Structure 1
Amino acid sequence: MQGESKKPKKILIVGGGTAGWMAANLLMSRWNNVEVCLLESSGVGTVGVGEGTTPHLKLFFDALGVSESEWMPRCNATYKNGIYFSDWSFVPGHKEYFHPFPAQVDDLTVPMFFHNIKARMQGDEAQAHPDHYFLESYLTQNNLGPLAAECFPFSVGYGYHFDSELLGQFLAERAIAKGLVRLNGTVTEVVLDSDGALASVRLDDDSLLDADFFIDCSGFRSLLLQGALKVSFKSYKENLFNDAAVVLPTEISDVITPATRSTALSNGWAWKIPLTNRYGNGYVYSSDYISAEQAETELRQHLNIPDADVTARHLTMKVGRAEKHWEKNCLAVGLSQGFIEPLEATALALTFDTVMLFMRHYEDGHFTNKFEREFNDAINVKFEAVRDYIVCHYKANQRVDTEYWRDNAANTNLSERLGAILNLWAGSETFAQDMRAQNLDVGYQAKSWACLLAGYGAFPRQRSNKAQARASSQADMEQLADFIRRCGLNFRDHNELLAHMLSE
């Protein structure tokens, strides 16, 4: 390869955690003639905010050639078809909705969904709740996992729930077995060279670790990128109010549902994530509206565990992103590059995209910074797209019971892109087509936006149209339900899938 001589001989990853070990495994799988070292500090814990993912984690393991039977039992992992959203809306009939991951059969069912949305907006009593239109909604309602029988020729996207600490251990063992050098120490100083690039890091024993390229996985501190290289940070505080969380585990139930549950509380929302051995629970909230003590009390009441036998863990979040993710000879990955609250479990997806896109741009530039700007622009677009989608959950909420929810609904600090999407929802007769035409479906497709807004019952006031769309007939809806049901015959019970994996 032209430019091979410029490939770094040594890469130092500063910080472990899931992001650090994901980066290590991806780098080693692609550049097998580069020495990769990972520095951890025994005195620094991991944040571990979320234990749920999008389908990107499957892409990650597929890229490594790691099977589900190899890693899932090790990490108490379960399957995830999507997310239940409860109590985000007080609109009758819309107290709860399910947001599924994509499946190929959506192409056959979504047109009726959009048809009935249009009819509903024009005043017809159409069935426009998203739970009626998606295969993965049916699978989850019936506790079916996402793995289809071989005779079912349509793909189904899915994510996972897992223990983040165990996943880090699994990925560490795998990387070390393939030759990664694992080091322990605390960084006390970052040394720059004469050009202002990173030269080495000094540890608490006064030793120096040098490298040709550095991966910053030091968490919210961002020691290398934001600390030493002075890359500025763009806060999302004006868009996303939440900045803290409190976390509690509870006992797992006999039936393990293949879905995350997000329940709106007084000043934020609570997650419920099923692992094979426990539920992971947490309350994400804004410290401007509720104290940590009040949030813990509310979460305990929500979980019906008011006593203090189970210790809660309190976390703070730095929500936003670095202005650049690749600067000189440093790439920031994970919390050190930015964080968007865990509502749609996008953190590991952004980690995976960052590393994969970096390797491609670095190679295309013959291991120089030729495409640094293009890379940073592309990652920023991904962050902004995720942010806009998360902001919409709050902006479009249909609650009026607390100042927190009223302020979110009244928030005018929206991006131009999100404002355009909401305007289309309120005024367009062809929402999906117009989103595509205006290039607004970057990151999330129109059906995802429609699931969110229709799931809330956030329908604009009736608008007239001479060519008014008629709601699908009862017979059509029954035919659709039967089609989805028969598709569902190709899937197995989620608990049986997990038990079968353990027996292999």
Structure 2
Amino acid sequence: MKTNRWIIVGGGTAGWIAASALAHQYRNQAVSITLVESSEIGTVGVGEAVIPPFITFIRNLGLDEQQFIAAVGGTFKLGIEFKNWRRQHHSYFHHFGDLGRPLNGNDFYHCFLHAGRAGDCGDLMDYAPSAVMARQHRFFLPFKLAPDSGLNGANYALHFDASRVAAELRRFACDAGVKRVDAKVERVLTDDAGTIQTLQLSTGEQLDGDYFIDCSGFRSLLLGQTLNIPYDDWSDLLPCNSAAAVQSEHTGDTPPYTTASAQDAGWIWRIPLQHRMGNGYVFSNDYISDDEACASLLAQLTGKPLHDPRILRFTTGMRQQLWAKNCIALGLAGGFLEPLESTAIHLVTRGVQFLLQLLPTVATTETQCQALAAEYNQRMRADYEEIRDFLVLHYCLTERDDSPFWRYVRDMPLPASLKHRLALFDASGQLPPENDELFRKPSWQAVLHGMGRRPAHYHPAVDQLDAAQVNQALNAARQQMANACQQLPTHNEFIQQFCATPQAAQ
């Protein structure tokens, strides 16, 4: 099957990520890449935060990170602060990067638990470099910090204006040879086997392709509507099905983290950009009306709203296949997981990454293509289910019983994969071996600990350590990072020095 004609349906962040990655992969090769989007159809455009792997994606394209951040109004993200999730007036932090350092080969978290039983060793996040910087609203590129600072194990992601990200990637892709067609897809033509052959456009043009990438958003025009791939609904595990989103004026200080504040029927995000704030209430309309959600969101803004809130509807879940026949779905066309951990864009780049690894060639047979698609679908389902379980973790461990919503998520049945992980952690503080997972042990430990979950015992090997020496090592590490952090610029200062957006683009 030929693979020299790629058609991408839909622009936005997902479409232009796909176009940029394919153009970079096929640079200097005789491959045509066409993206069809209509300027009459808006994009969701509220994805304003990512996780650290996006930085790697940008670098792999050869884009200048500093210029990119300035162009998209970006700020730095060291993690997420969760307010009122475990209970009212309680908060915890999910950091990016390291969580302490092993002691004599022992996992740091187990050493921390050991030290905690022997005396006061502080808060767990005192040993997470990203959390230490976030707490003081300070930032510096971790890989440029001295090893003896104790802070170079931090990691970071970005907050940004999603529409500007799409524009930057569109510029990159078009410069690399991607053809953009401004039109609506009126009809999708398939052959007798159901393979997509041709798109009929509103301009009267017909586009023939070998492979089609569906970035048409929730419509899922190709994978869902044309190929009729069923959708697995996960609303019983993640019951939020709506979001009210609004942008507001910037109020001054710019914390280097996202805030997720639990509400009676969901949670509110707060994302600081250079030129404004992003805000939204993710909720279940089974427990609160749209008007009530909008009123609650507006009442909690820190700056003047720049427009009326927009209401979005969604169903958490994913298509049973993301690659079917000659169609691959990315982003909302393939599935949706609420933005609690900012994983939407990651799932797009992850899908592109797997696609580039499994690219068929002109000589690939139909049977071989089916094997590639099966591998792709298996990998992507594993990612979706892992992230689903991690999101459910934030809800199911709550102690709250002050509203019907929180009583439901506290008591809901859990997927077997998450039940196993919790049982293993409860027994010994262990977690399953990592197999190319997005969220590594420090992330699970941060959320489990933050939500009040404690294992019955730490690993018995830690008992061989001298308790006084463990406490001394922990206290020294904690003081080292706190002192080093005080020498860093504030987040605002670093942005002004490194990647300030030009005033004309504010």
Q: Same fold (TM over 0.5)?
A: yes
Q: 1:224 to 1:392 in 2, by over 3 A?
A: same
Mapped contact 1:421–1:440 kept (Cα < 8 A): no
Mapped contact 2:106–2:461 kept (Cα < 8 A): no
**1:185 aligns with one of 173, 183, 186:** 183
3-state SS, counterpart of residue 260 of structure 2: strand
1:311 Cα deviation after fit: 1.2
Cα separation, 1, equivalents of 2:62 and 2:286: 45
Mapped contact 1:129–1:454 kept (Cα < 8 A): no
Cα separation, 2, equivalents of 1:99 and 1:365: 45
Cα separation, 1, equivalents of 2:445 and 2:458: 20
Give the equivalent residue in structure 1 for 2:36: 39
Cα separation, 2, equivalents of 1:52 and 1:285: 19
Give the equivalent residue in structure 2 for 1:24: 19
3-state SS, counterpart of residue 397 of structure 1: coil
Aligned-CA RMSD value: 2.9
Cα separation, 1, equivalents of 2:438 and 2:388: 10
Mapped contact 1:97–1:130 kept (Cα < 8 A): no
Cα separation, 2, equivalents of 1:137 and 1:383: 26
3-state SS, counterpart of residue 288 of structure 1: coil
Give the equivalent residue in structure 2 for 1:3: none
1:501 Cα deviation after fit: 2.6
Greater Cα offset, 168-177 or 142-151: 142-151
Mapped contact 2:246–2:305 kept (Cα < 8 A): no
Alignment partner of 1:116 is 2:112: yes
Alignment partner of 1:176 is 2:170: no
**1:219 aligns with one of 199, 217, 220:** 217
Cα separation, 2, equivalents of 1:395 and 1:188: 44
Cα separation, 2, equivalents of 1:352 and 1:176: 18
**1:101 aligns with one of 96, 105, 111:** 96
* AA matched with 2:248: T
3-state SS, counterpart of residue 300 of structure 2: helix
1:27 Cα deviation after fit: 0.3
Q: 1:234 to 1:257 in 2, by over 3 A?
A: same
* TM-score between the two structures when normalised by the length of structure 1: 0.89
Greater Cα offset, 465-474 or 272-281: 465-474
Cα separation, 2, equivalents of 1:497 and 1:143: 11
Alignment partner of 1:163 is 2:161: yes
1:332 Cα deviation after fit: 0.5
Aligned ranges 1:214-253 → 2 under 5 Å: 214-253=212-251
Alignment partner of 1:348 is 2:349: no
Alignment partner of 1:12 is 2:7: yes
* AA matched with 2:126: H
**2:74 aligns with one of 66, 77, 81:** 77
Aligned ranges 1:77-476 → 2 under 5 Å: 77-90=74-87, 95-103=90-98, 106-107=101-102, 111-117=107-113, 127=121, 129-148=123-142, 150=144, 152-153=146-147, 154=152, 156-303=154-301, 310-363=307-360, 367=364, 369=369, 370-412=371-413, 414-428=414-428, 431-432=429-430, 434-436=431-433, 442-459=437-454, 475-476=472-473
Cα separation, 2, equivalents of 1:147 and 1:384: 32
Cα separation, 1, equivalents of 2:412 and 2:326: 39
Mapped contact 1:110–1:134 kept (Cα < 8 A): no
1:208 Cα deviation after fit: 1.8
Mapped contact 2:50–2:158 kept (Cα < 8 A): yes
Mapped contact 2:86–2:398 kept (Cα < 8 A): yes
* AA matched with 1:31: Y
1:56 Cα deviation after fit: 1.6
Cα separation, 2, equivalents of 1:7 and 1:113: 52
Q: 1:495 to 1:309 in 2, by over 3 A?
A: closer
Give the equivalent residue in structure 2 for 1:48: 45
Q: 1:105 to 1:427 in 2, by over 3 A?
A: closer
Superimposed CA distance per residue, residues 90-125 of structure 1 (whole angstroms, 9 cap, x where no aligned partner): 28xx811111111486556994433333676xx777
3-state SS, counterpart of residue 214 of structure 1: strand
Mapped contact 1:339–1:347 kept (Cα < 8 A): yes
The count of corresponding residues between Structure 1 and Structure 2 is 487
Mapped contact 1:147–1:492 kept (Cα < 8 A): no
Greater Cα offset, 440-449 or 16-25: 440-449
1:435 Cα deviation after fit: 2.4
Mapped contact 2:242–2:312 kept (Cα < 8 A): yes
Greater Cα offset, 358-367 or 225-234: 358-367
1:130 Cα deviation after fit: 2.6
Q: Which runs of 5+ in 1 are unaligned?
A: 1-5
Cα separation, 2, equivalents of 1:221 and 1:151: 46
Counting aligned pairs with the same residue, the percent is 31
